[in-house]
C-alpha cells in the first residue's frame, strides 16, 4: 500500500500526515455520543458560582479526580486509559480502539486543571499529583511577585530567587496535601 504523504502531496512529511490524522480523530472524539452521555449522566444542578448570574442554579459536576464542584463548562471527559500516541502506522489500531472503543465505565468527568495534569502525567511519566502541583506553582509564579506573596501569606520566608521559591512552594503544597489526608 502507498503512503499518503510525501513530495507533491498535502503532507510533505510523515509527521504532517499524522498531525492531520490526530486532528481528525480528535474531532470524532469531540462529538462522540458516549462522551456526551457521560456529560449528561454525571451533571447535576449546583448553586451558580457567578455572582452576577441571572439563574440561582446552573448545571455543574463533581470532578472525579479532585472532588471539587464546577460548572459544566469546566468539565472534560477523560479516558481512564489514555489513547496514547499516534505517530506511526502501527499506532493507528491501538489509538483508535483506546479512543473510541469505550463505554461510560472507561471514561471519567474531570475539571480542566485535573485534565491538564493527567495529560501532563501521560507525557512526562510524573504522577498526577506531581503534575497538579507543578501546575499550581506555574500559576502562582506567573504573577509578578505572586510567589513572594503566596509564601508570606503562609508564614514562610521567601527564598532569594525564583528557583528557591519554587521549591518552597512545592514543599508547602505537598505538606498541605498530606495534611488534608489526615
Ligand atoms: Zn479536578
Residue-wise pLDDT for 98-120, tens only, equals: 999 999 999 999 999 999 999 99
Alpha carbons within 13 angstroms on the beta-carbon side of residue 123 total 7
pLDDT band per the 50, 70, 90 thresholds, residue 2? confident
Please check whether residue 60 is in contact with residue 46, taking contact to mean a CB–CB distance below 8 angstroms.
yes
pLDDT over threshold 70, residue 21: yes
**Domain edges within the chain:** 1-112, 126-182
Torsion (CA) 80, 120, 182, 63 in degrees, nearest 10: -50
CA of 20 to the centre of ligand 1 (A): 30
Quick: pLDDT tens for 48-81: 998 898 999 999 999 999 999 999 999 999 999 9
Joined grid coordinates for residue 68: 471539587
CA of 117 to the centre of ligand 1 (A): 9
pLDDT over threshold 70, residue 13: yes
CA of 110 to the centre of ligand 1 (A): 5
Q: How far is CA 77 from the centre of its chain?
A: 10
pLDDT band per the 50, 70, 90 thresholds, residue 9? very high
CA of 134 to the centre of ligand 1 (A): 15
Task: Specify the pLDDT at position 182.
Answer: 62
Average pLDDT, the chain: 94
Q: Specify the length of the chain in residues.
A: 182
pLDDT band per the 50, 70, 90 thresholds, residue 179? confident
Joined grid coordinates for residue 86: 499516534
CA of 74 to the centre of ligand 1 (A): 9
CA of 78 to the centre of ligand 1 (A): 11
Burial (Cβ within 10 Å: 0-12, 13-18, ≥19) of residue 64: middle
Quick: pLDDT tens for 109-158: 999 999 999 999 988 999 999 999 999 999 999 999 999 999 999 999 99
CA of 39 to the centre of ligand 1 (A): 15
Secondary structure (3-state) at 70: strand
Mean pLDDT, rounded, for 159-167: 95
Amino acid at each position: 500500500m502507498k503512503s499518503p504523504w510525501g513530495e507533491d502531496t498535502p503532507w510533505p512529511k510523515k509527521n504532517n500526515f499524522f498531525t492531520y490524522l490526530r486532528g481528525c480523530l480528535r474531532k470524532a472524539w469531540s462529538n462522540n455520543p458516549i462522551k456526551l452521555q457521560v456529560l449528561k449522566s454525571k451533571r447535576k444542578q449546583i448553586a451558580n458560582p457567578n455572582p452576577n448570574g441571572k439563574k440561582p442554579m446552573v448545571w455543574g459536576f463533581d470532578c472525579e479526580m479532585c472532588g471539587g464542584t464546577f460548572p459544566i463548562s469546566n468539565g472534560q471527559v477523560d479516558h481512564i486509559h489514555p489513547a496514547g500516541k499516534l505517530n506511526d502506522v502501527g499506532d493507528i489500531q491501538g489509538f483508535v480502539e483506546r479512543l473510541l472503543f469505550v463505554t461510560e465505565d472507561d471514561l471519567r468527568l474531570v475539571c480542566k486543571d485535573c485534565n491538564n495534569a493527567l495529560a501532563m502525567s501521560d507525557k512526562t511519566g510524573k504522577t498526577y499529583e506531581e503534575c497538579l502541583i507543578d501546575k499550581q506553582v506555574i500559576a502562582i509564579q506567573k504573577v509578578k511577585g505572586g510567589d513572594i506573596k503566596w509564601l508570606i501569606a503562609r508564614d514562610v520566608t521567601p527564598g532569594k530567587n525564583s528557583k528557591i521559591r519554587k521549591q518552597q512552594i512545592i514543599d508547602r503544597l505537598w505538606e498541605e496535601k498530606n495534611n488534608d489526608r489526615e
